[in-house]
Structure 1
Amino acid sequence: MMAIRIPRKRVRNRSYIVDLMLFLILAGMGAFMAMPLVFVISNAFKPLDEIFLFPPKFFVRYPTLDNFVQLYHLMSSFWVPYTRYIFNTVFIAVVGTAGHVILASMAAYPLAKRNFKGRNALFTIVVLSLMFSGHVTAIPNYMTMSWLGLLNSYWAVIIPALGSSLGLFLMKQFMEQMVPDTLLEAARIDGCSEFRIFWRIVMPIVKPAWLTLIIFSFQGLWGSGGTGKIYIYSEQLKTIDYALDQILAGGIVRTGPSMAASLLMISVPITIFIISQSNVIQTMSTSGMKD
């Protein structure tokens, strides 16, 4: 006679009141963290009199699109088309991010999964390089780009970004934790080459790492107008960040367009972050492998 299995009732570990309190706490923290972004969005739609209103109002009362219209007319008055600035920014950000992710991953693989002399010394140098900010390495980078003859070109901004040690450190640490050595040995026994192991096995497993690296790298290169002014002198090669700085230099009357420009500048990195964040969370929960 077949026994009928009665499902046991799941016992809750905490009460509904505790769940409600946790939800309210997390919702409050999320709202607090979102306040700067909401403030930027609100300021972009404020008329000029509301922007200078004292005491300032957090939310816009009479929203308007005049700031965006004025920004469009100001950028259209440049002798270099504003689409050129946008193209320069997108090209530098996309090429620099893709190159950095590929080079950092390829350099991290032997450091994480191959034994050779000097491996620990090389990784120690990488860790020590994280201590130096971009301001410290600005002069050496400028001298290097000058010696290579790459000043006043896209590559003067892209090449220093390719050699950033943060990506190498992140990928190396993630490969050590997420990629089991037994899996690589099994692939070598099956006849896979190192190049195929890297692209078909290692890179899919460490997808959370290079998605996170895409966020950091793209965000840094998208706002590279400050460092780009050091290497790039031609107006036709400058980025949108530099063009918006010229608008801000117009004084108080351009405060409205500057608010609209701030919203447009942060919208692209935030969009990239939102898209990549969902993939990072999903991949980290499903693709982890350990010995």
Structure 2
Amino acid sequence: MRIIKAYKFKRLNRSLGVDLLLFAVIGMVACFMALPLVFTINNAFKPIDEIFQFPPKLFVRNPTFKNFIDLVHIFNDSWVPFSRYIFNTFFITTTGTAGHVLLASAAAYPLAKIKFPGRSVLFSIVVLSLMFTSHVTQVPNYMTISWLGLIDTYWAIILPAFGMTLGLYLMKQFMEQIPDALIEAAKMDGASEYRIFWQIVMPMVKPAWLTLIIFALQNLWSGSAIKFIYSEQLKTINDVFGQIAAGGIVRTGPVAAVTLLMMVVPITVFIVTQSNIIQTMSTSGLKD
């Protein structure tokens, strides 16, 4: 009790000048890191002459919505409605993210809290798989998807997202921090493994699966499906925006607008989820 009180009333031996210096340094670093985002936002509202101006200006001088209007005209001329691309993207992103979080969590629980033969070998395989980039596994993935007959379907993108090993590794590491005494107490009270997993383990590892949602959503939202999906009515927004960018210099303005639109959803999800992660990390720590 004395240690807790001493820690509670302990004061930092740091002057106001040092605090102001640290605040100034952190502020300058934050401003520097925000420059790409500020440039992208301003670039979307620049007229064509300001976009090609050299040296480029950070802030727009004559803001205009012409880039977005041209983008709307491009989609109006397409035989596939823009709402179809939105549906495809949101269906693939939400289904792949939800399936990945659930599957990774369900597989991580026995690896972290249940002792069975070969557990260390399986986890070593998971860790080893993290060393391979997507370029290395691209051909085997395509052959597997083709063998399953899923080429040119939504599941050609969703199914590989379920099996990303980064989520399994992250969830397993977080679940290992849960006290074994807590799980043993729940078993003594008659709780089943499924109830322990859903009502005890998952709420306690909330920071892990919230972080996993950010990673999976960003990967699926900004990823390209053109290697597996060839039908125009099944393509995602990112693939269609890539086709717009291939139109040349005349579509530089719409491309700037596209870049901003593609950043809105990941940034929004990150901002909303980040507050929950920080709050959960500060209130859900348990020790034996």
| Count of matched residue pairs | 280
Q: Give 1:45's aligned amino acid.
A: F
2:48 and 2:11 mapped to 1: Cα distance? 58
Aligned position for 2:142 = 142
- Note closer, same or farther for the CA distance 1:135–1:12 as it changes in structure 2 (3 Å cut): closer
SS state of the match for residue 152, structure 2?
A: coil
Question: Please, what is the CA RMSD of the aligned residues?
Answer: 1.0
Aligned position for 1:222 = 221
Structure 2: which 5+ residue stretches go unaligned? Answer: 1-8
Give the alignment of 1:207-246 within 5 angstroms.
207-225=206-224, 228-246=225-243
Q: Is residue 87 from structure 1 mapped to residue 87 from structure 2 by the alignment?
A: yes
1:133-158 CA distances to partner (integer Å, 9 max, x unpaired)? 11111111111111111111000000
Aligned position for 2:114 = 114
SS state of the match for residue 227, structure 2?
A: helix
Q: CA deviation at 1:245?
A: 1.0
1:176-199 CA distances to partner (integer Å, 9 max, x unpaired)? 12x110000000000000000000
Mean alpha-carbon deviation: is it higher for 188-197 or for 50-59? Answer: 50-59
- Note closer, same or farther for the CA distance 1:186–1:63 as it changes in structure 2 (3 Å cut): same
Give the alignment of 1:228-267 within 5 angstroms.
228-267=225-264
Q: CA deviation at 1:75?
A: 1.3
Stretches (4+) displaced over 6 A: none
1:66 and 1:222 mapped to 2: Cα distance? 25
1:235 and 1:42 mapped to 2: Cα distance? 31
State which of 247, 268, 271 in structure 2 corresponds to 1:274: 271
SS state of the match for residue 55, structure 2?
A: coil
- Note closer, same or farther for the CA distance 1:198–1:260 as it changes in structure 2 (3 Å cut): same
2:16 and 2:76 mapped to 1: Cα distance? 57
Q: Give 2:249's aligned amino acid.
A: I
Structure 1: which 5+ residue stretches go unaligned? Answer: 1-8
SS state of the match for residue 57, structure 1?
A: coil
> Identity across aligned pairs (percent)?
66
SS state of the match for residue 231, structure 1?
A: coil
Give the alignment of 1:72-221 within 5 angstroms.
72-177=72-177, 179-221=178-220
Q: Give 1:246's aligned amino acid.
A: Q
2:11 and 2:192 mapped to 1: Cα distance? 51
Q: Give 2:128's aligned amino acid.
A: L
Q: Give 1:212's aligned amino acid.
A: T
1:35-58 CA distances to partner (integer Å, 9 max, x unpaired)? 111110010010000000111111
